[in-house]
Amino acid sequence: MVVVGIDIVDIERFTAAARRTPRMLTRLFTPQELEYCRQKGSPYASLAARFAIREAFRKLHPAFVRGLSFHDVSVQNDEHGKPALLLTAAARQKAAAAGISGFAVSLSHSRSQAIAIVIGEGGNPE
């Protein structure tokens, strides 16, 4: 069985919210993600994509809707730029309980929108 979660974020709206409430960024993202994205020419687009991946993860299975913080799910890019999902012990435990054993992710953005997809291997309905 394969489970899928997807989300799209309006970059302009995300940027406005982040500028209006700067501490939002530290509530949503890990220090490593913030450092990575701030090195980009368009940091808010990259951050919006990382927000979208958290929302896509939540949509993957009902077990992920409650009980996890934004920092329980993050993204790390390898030396070639390929993103990978990083889960805390709490998130890994929920995934195991939901029968999901592995994840594949993809992020993308245009000038106006960021999108993320999370595909989980396995999964049992709750």
Residues 69-97 have pLDDT tens digits of: 999 999 999 889 899 999 999 999 999 99
- Verdict on whether the full-model pTM lies above 0.75: yes
HEC sequence for 53-73: HHHHHHHHCHHHCCCCCHHHE
Q: What is the mean pLDDT of residues 8-17?
A: 98
- pLDDT at residue 123 tops 80: no
On whether the CB atoms of residues 117 and 2 are closer than 8 A, the answer is: no
What per-residue confidence (pLDDT) applies to 81? 87
What per-residue confidence (pLDDT) applies to 1? 83
Q: In DSSP terms, which residues pair with 113 in a beta bridge? A: 10
